[in-house]
Structure 1
Amino acid sequence: MPQASARPPLPPFTRESAIQKIRLAENGWNTRDPEKVSLAYTEDSWWRNRGEFVQGREAIVALLKRKWTRELDYRLVKELWAFDGARIAVRFAYEYHDDSGQWYRAYGNENWEFDEHGLMHHRHASINETPIRESERKLLWDASGPRPDDHPGLTALGF
């Protein structure tokens, strides 16, 4: 895949630009489009996702394709935890169901590091999930688009 152009906002991050970067990432992931999502990462980006270690955009695309084949009707919310220079720490929650109709909520933390072009070159993700009843879902918006601006974030949801 070709090198992506700069992806503002660029480091060093302020609180406001870190929050903007997080929302852009959330919106991208909520498209569930592995190729589009991969363009936010460097060509040689290194990931730890749960217990899986991948490097490079092709491996990222493959991981995301596997993920979104299993995690249906996926909806994600991310929130700033901390930032410093070219690094951002994020907490998140997402909900999905499997092919049997069982719903899950996953909770996690990510540590991100960016290059000077605003592309992420390291992503460390720790994720735990729990089964939930469909009636317990809280991430309720049309799955074909980003989280609406008026939909509550993690803190407002009590996560």
Structure 2
Amino acid sequence: MDTRKSGFGSKDASRRDEFMSHVRTEQYRETLHTEMKILDKQKQNDPPGLFDALDSLNQSHHFPEGLQETKHLYDIGRSQNTEFNQKSHRDTFYTMRVGNSQYKRSNGPFMLTSESIGLGADDVTGNRPNPKGASTKQFYDHSHLHT
């Protein structure tokens, strides 16, 4: 123990929480453990066929068209070649460019918040304010000024 180098100027190895977030890590682990207990309790109280629809959605995922699904990510560079995209900062398997209409982003059964905000805005009619008259007449009117 005396021949050991002192890390952070301390010779006591058990006092490591002064130099790292050991306490916060344990608090986070305890929170995760409590949440898992609550989820398990909810699963026991729910009817048995409730989550079958969600499981079937997770299993029936759609892969982008024109690309073949691989089991391991390291197989992509060896068994498949992606087309070159000069605007991509690195070689990517799935091109996520917004303006690229060749591939559509697959969100599964979910809708993005940015998609849902403007949803139905085209159907609204008669919502525009109507002007009462020309505002320039009142702007240039000097009759109320006394000089």
Q: TM-score, normalised by structure 1?
A: 0.15
RCO greater where, 1 or 2, for CA within 8 Å and sep 6 or more?
A: 1
Q: TM-score, normalised by structure 2?
A: 0.16
Higher percent of residues as helix: 2
